[in-house]
Amino acid sequence: MSTPVDTTKAGTASTAAGEIPVAPKPKSYSMIGPYVGIVLIILYCLAPFYWMIVSSLRRPADQFQTTLIPNPISFQNYIDVFNPSNNFARALLNSIIVASTVTVLTLIIGTFAAYALARLDFPFKNISLGIIIACSMFPGIAMVIPLFGLFTDIGWINTYQALILPALSFGLPLAVWILTAFFRQMPAELEEAAMIDGCTQGQAFRKVIIPIAAPGVFTTAIIVFVAAWNEYIIALTMTNKAEYRTATVAVTFFTGTTGRDIPFGSIMAAGVILTVPLLIMVLIFQRRIVAGLTAGGVKS
């Protein structure tokens, strides 16, 4: 009686016995193209900001030079930005007040609305969500004239509420959309387990859901704050007094030494002051932002 042959081991042995050393393959350069593309995109995005910094560090007399490095370096433009005639310090305070208020109100209203859309079942829920996001599609310039007429009639021109409410109407739909997607991917068993342990539904929402949803809420806060900070057309239209202008509007009213020339260096310095805090904030919290943007689209 013949014994069965283990073909697997035999094949392995024969392969090992007859193995021919293979020369190492030459290093592949297929990944060079994507890296070059990434570098080009980064340079393309950073070039205007770099030129803004360089221009802000030139002396006022050298503001139209084209060298890549200012020589000599001067901070006179940053001093001129805060000249009392420019009213830039008050404008910065106005921007902080408006952007912070819009962000806080958007998070409060948007969080409750998004949680209701994610957890409650009611007729036309998806249509309601579609209408909410559609409201953010209206171009801001199309709303300027109706809002200006309305705010003139009720006496809101040159007030903070005339700056806050339009920005809130643009930021709230986006916040509801992001947070709804984020809450939907969170299992309902979390609230059920908390309620079994003695929490009310409100306590379960406050003590369980909100801490877990922190990345999504934080991402929404960053996006809304940046949008409110950079808003220009509404702020320009609704204010005609310097004490109510935001920083983005105040920059356009800078005047030179004669009142007719354009203070190019001071405008570049103001642009750096307006941009750098946002860049630092995004770089510090970039992991939370990425987590918040991706968590709503992946179900575990």
Give residue limits of the domains in the chain: 33-74, 85-295
Domain 85-295: which topology? Answer: MetI-like fold (1.10.3720)
Q: What tens digit of pLDDT does each residue of 123-169 get? A: 888 888 888 888 878 887 888 999 999 999 999 999 999 999 999 98
* CA nearest neighbour of 124 among 132, 111, 115: 132
Residue 1 has a pLDDT of 47
Residue 292 has a pLDDT of 64
Containing 174, the helix (H) or strand (E) segment is helix 160-184
Q: Which two tokens stand for residue 158?
A: 């040159």
Residue 63 has a pLDDT of 81
Residue 130 has a pLDDT of 84
pLDDT in tens, the chain (300 residues): 444 544 444 444 444 455 555 555 555 556 788 889 999 999 998 899 999 999 999 988 888 888 888 888 999 999 999 988 889 999 999 999 999 999 999 999 999 999 988 888 888 888 888 888 888 788 878 889 999 999 999 999 999 999 999 999 888 998 998 888 888 888 888 888 888 888 888 888 888 888 888 888 888 898 899 999 999 999 999 999 989 999 999 999 988 665 567 888 999 999 999 998 888 888 887 777 776 666 555 444
Q: Which two tokens stand for residue 252?
A: 């356009």
Residue 197 has a pLDDT of 84
Q: Model-level pTM?
A: 0.81
Containing 273, the helix (H) or strand (E) segment is helix 264-284
Residue written as token pair 């021109």: 157
* CA nearest neighbour of 174 among 297, 298, 293: 293
Residue 233 has a pLDDT of 92
Cβ distance 269 to 77 under 8 Å? yes
